[in-house]
């Protein structure tokens, strides 16, 4: 089984962490573990697998996040994903959306720890790559002190050793998925306590982490951190991850952007449209001179029919002109 570092991860985010986003993030950090958007097991088994599971080889190490609650189906989807070359399969026990609840997966599974354990046991039996879990601390009126421990202990008994914990409850009644990302209070201390009590497990903390300084503080208490929106909206911070947490050299942002531009050119030559490829770049120069012109040019020009790599080059010129000035 491959050994993966979970010290710094970029969280799975629906509609955001698609393959182009992950390629950009990989250009900025060699060591962070990247996660896909959640894909349902049913879609993997019955849908367009190339579209749902295809990824660029430069994304490694990369984990697929699966959603579902039928052990046999989860095992089948895991085998398919492993054949695509993913480095890890992660089970979603944290998404609070209505669609997820109606399908009996995501955060509502916090109420069914033994079913989750059955799923991960089946998944582990089906593949040789690691199976991990991303969860909340509880849902609705659950006591997080009990619900988080119950889930972790049930799954650890099957051999799962890596748990990424979004340190908030999910309120399935009364809050929207967007509100569930911010409104329920964070309880990092609970996650820290669970790690102290179960030192053999790899525990990651997720939720509300916005800077690398905050990530470093969490790493005094847990094994890993998982950044979500901060990494997407300000991807430049990823350029410091290798040096800060893995003993590597700082990534040269210009070189990283050039590598991504080459990837964009390759995808365009294969018939891809520019707009989805530049979406992950929009936050790249956050707060820097020329960033507003950079974003405006991409937002206005990239959606046009026939837009090519010249649009990206023109946008980058706005940033470089301001740097030179």
Query: How many other CB atoms are there within 10 angstroms of residue 34's CB atom?
Result: 24
* Closest to 14 (Cα-Cα) out of 179, 253, 232, 259: 232
Q: How far apart are the first and last CA of the chain?
A: 51
299 class by beta-carbon count within 10 Å (0-12 exposed, 13-18 middle, 19+ buried): middle
DSSP 258-294: HHHHHHHHHHHHTT--HHHHHGGGTTTTTTSTTHHHH
Q: Name the DSSP letter for residue 86.
A: -
DSSP calls for 23-36: HHHHHH-SSSEEEE
Q: List residues with catalytic annotation.
A: 95
Angle between helices 19-28 and 253-269 (to 10 degrees): 150
- 156: β partners: none
* Beta carbons of 86 and 65 less than 8 angstroms apart: no
| 3-state SS assignment for residue 55 | coil
CB 94 within 8 A of CB 166: yes
């Amino acid at each position: 089984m491959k050994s993966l570092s979970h010290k710094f991860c970029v969280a799975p985010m629906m509609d955001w962490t698609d393959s182009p986003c992950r390629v950009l993030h990989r250009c900025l950090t060699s060591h962070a573990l990247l996660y896909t958007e959640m894909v349902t097991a049913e879609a993997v088994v019955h849908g367009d697998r190339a579209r749902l599971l295809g990824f660029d080889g430069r994304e490694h190490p990369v984990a697929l996040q699966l959603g579902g609650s039928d052990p046999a189906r989860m095992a089948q989807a895991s085998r398919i994903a492993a054949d695509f070359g993913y480095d890890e399969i992660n089970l979603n026990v944290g998404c609070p959306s209505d669609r997820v609840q109606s399908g009996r997966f995501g955060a509502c599974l916090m109420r069914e720890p033994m079913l989750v354990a059955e799923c991960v046991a089946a998944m582990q039996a089906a593949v040789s790559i690691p199976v991990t879990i991303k969860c909340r601390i509880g849902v609705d009126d659950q006591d997080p002190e009990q619900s988080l421990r119950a889930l972790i202990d049930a799954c650890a008994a099957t051999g799962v050793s890596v748990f990424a914990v979004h340190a908030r409850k999910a309120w399935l009644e009364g809050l929207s998925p967007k509100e569930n990302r911010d409104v329920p209070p964070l309880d990092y201390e609970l996650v820290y306590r669970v790690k102290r009590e179960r030192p053999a497990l790899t525990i990651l903390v997720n939720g509300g982490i916005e800077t690398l300084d905050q990530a470093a503080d969490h790493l005094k208490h847990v094994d890993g951190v998982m950044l979500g929106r901060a990494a997407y909206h300000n991807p430049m911070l990823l350029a410091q991850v290798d040096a800060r947490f893995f003993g590597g050299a700082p990534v040269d942002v210009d070189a990283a952007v050039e590598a991504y531009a080459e990837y964009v050119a390759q995808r365009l030559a294969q018939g891809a449209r520019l707009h989805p490829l530049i979406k992950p770049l929009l936050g790249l120069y956050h707060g820097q001179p020329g960033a507003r012109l950079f974003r405006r040019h991409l937002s206005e020009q990239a959606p046009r029919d026939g837009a090519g790599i010249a649009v990206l080059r023109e946008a980058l010129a706005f940033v470089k002109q301001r740097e030179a000035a």
